[in-house]
Amino acid sequence: MPDINDERAQSRLLERQASERYSDEAFKKYYAEKIQPLWSTFEKKRRQAAATVSRRAPFAIIYGSAIMAFVLIAIRGWHWPTGPVLGLGALGAIGVSAWASADQRQYIEDIKTQIFPIIFSFFGETFKYVQPKKNPVHIYQIRKLGVFEDIDSHKVGDYVSGTYKGVELRLTELQLWKKEDKDKSRTQIFKGLLVVLKFGKAFRGTTIVKSDQGSLGNLVARNNTGLVRVRLEDPLFEQRFEVFGSDQIEARVILTPGFMERIKKIESQHEGVQFSFISKEVAIFLPTNQDFFGVNTDLDRMFSLADDIAGIRHEMGMIFDLIETLSLQRA
Amino acid sequence: MEILIVALIVMTLVYAYYTRLVNKKNAVLEALAGIDVQLNMRADLVPNVLKVAKRFLEHESKLLAEITALRMSASRTYDRGDSRSLKRHLSAAAEFEGKMSQLMVTLENYPDLKSDGVMTQAQQTYNDVELHIAAARRFYNTAVSDLNTAVQIFPGSLIAGMAGIQAMPFFEATATARQPIDADSYLR
């Protein structure tokens, strides 16, 4: 029979191992072992790309100017049709610019395909980084989450997927747009990260945590979701968020005072963060203006990913923290 | 004519306030129903826990007997509309909860019992039900706070008095639950 003290000791050991695994020290060691050896290769690639760009840039400027002059002469002097000529000119300019920056793009692509998988492996063997060719998430799947029901178009960027402590995780770059009725133009209503966590145990009902949009906005949001408002005891949380749910009790099982504190902390860093708890999934919409999977494209600076990695580690740490809290509640 | 208009306005306002009070009271009853569902689930779970526990906890027969008695007392029917009857029901539920918490702490001292498959399953379900009871308690107390504020402030107090709508008791945690946790005992 296992001794209770043994179990506690084992649990403490696991906790310590987990915190040590993702600590700054652990990452520095990992960086030194796995990424640092690639430094010279990528620094060489950066120099080559920088040299190619500086060599091709003058030609690109000359070609570009020649194309512009040709376009002007063709339209004004020879009275060629404006549309096709401008189209041809634009194609030429794009071609020249693509030729000039080809090595730079290859350098960034190499970082993403060769270094990013190593970075994300730090968080566990199951973590993988993917650059999808097409939108891997259908728009109806995003609408179904209940936070943005009235979107008309979306764009899903690169994503990371993996499993942390038995919880499936998928982190995707996401942009959402809504069409304006009057002028048919579209407005961006979300830009940031969509984090979807999949738990083993399903929620009984639906709970949506939306940003507070004022009395009228909240009323419209409630009508759109078709759910009932859940009023919580935390006045600061109530100021920032509006909660809707199909089960008043379950909404409070999820939104314990401790979990509300965590959400407020996240909101202080990501203003406009919103959540949805449906079936086995928790979806987190984290607005951010930064490109999560972006890398330093400045060819004049020595190859370093320190800043980019720091951002990724911070966000991943925050997501793991949320998983820990939700896992405890759902144990 | 003017008196008639004023009377009509007053009556409309009184009616609107009355509707508001009834809505708030219904919200409390809805929350109360939520608590009762969870309390019944807990009460149904207890016989299983006790059946396994009795095999191991011979020295705790007094505690087990108290739990059995409190379970019966907490499961008694009560008048939802009567605040005194409701208060007694909630106190019995809270006392039952306190004794069950005591039992769960006692179980920690019996590793053989804790490792029993049926007991482990029962404890997990019990913890889940406890989480739901805590959430239902928060829902109920929010609804009660809303109702009591409306009932206690004029003109609500007057209209509630005429309509027979009373302030409702809060579902408070037991003295056991309020006691500070001895973290050392868990960290040793």
Name the residue facing A1 among B31, B115, B134 (closest C-beta): B115
- H or E element in which residue A30 lies: helix A24-30
Of A104-113, A131-140, A241-250, where does the model show the most confidence?
Answer: A241-250
Residues of B in contact with A2 (CB under 8 A): 111, 115
- H or E element in which residue B96 lies: helix B83-107
Nearest CA in chain A to B186: A8
pLDDT tens track for B51-67: 777 777 766 777 888 88
Instruction: Tell me the mean pLDDT in the region A310-316.
Output: 80
Does B135 contact A252 at a Cβ distance shorter than 8 Å?
yes
Name the residue facing B138 among A12, A252, A329 (closest C-beta): A252
- What b/e string do you get for A83-100 counting C-beta neighbours within 10 Å, with b at 16 or more? eebeeebeebbeebeeeb
pLDDT tens track for A184-197: 788 899 999 999 99
Residues of A in contact with B186 (CB under 8 A): 8
pLDDT tens track for B72-99: 888 888 887 788 888 888 888 888 888 8
Closest CA to A208 of A234, A168, A245: A245
Residues of B in contact with A8 (CB under 8 A): 186-188
Query: Are the C-beta atoms of A4 and B114 separated by less than 8 Å?
Result: yes
Does B131 contact A329 at a Cβ distance shorter than 8 Å?
yes
Query: Has residue A283 got a pLDDT over 90?
Result: yes
pLDDT tens track for A150-209: 888 899 888 899 988 888 899 998 999 988 776 678 889 999 999 999 887 888 889 999
Ordered DSSP codes for A113-126: IIIHHHHHHTT-TT
How distant is the alpha carbon of residue A191 from its chain centre? 8
Average pLDDT, chain A: 81
Q: Which residue has better confidence, B175 or A130?
A: A130
Ordered DSSP codes for B54-95: HHH-GGGHHHHHHHHHHHHHHTS---TT-HHHHHHHHHHHHH
Instruction: Tell me the mean pLDDT in the region A75-94.
Output: 79
Does A4 contact B112 at a Cβ distance shorter than 8 Å?
no
∠B106-B109-B110 over CA atoms, to 5°? Answer: 100
ipTM of the complex in this document: 0.74
Q: Give the minimum alpha-carbon distance from B132 to chain A in angstroms, rounded to a whole number.
A: 6
Q: Which residue is listed with tokens 């569902």?
A: B37
Q: Roughly how many angstroms between the first and final C-alpha of chain A, as a whole number? A: 22
Digitized pLDDT (tens) for each residue of chain B, 188 residues in all: 888 999 999 999 989 989 989 998 888 888 888 888 888 888 888 887 777 777 777 667 778 888 888 888 888 888 877 888 888 888 888 888 888 888 888 877 777 777 777 777 777 888 888 888 888 888 999 999 989 998 888 888 888 888 888 888 888 766 555 554 444 444 44
Q: Output the six-digit token pair for A178.
A: 């809504």
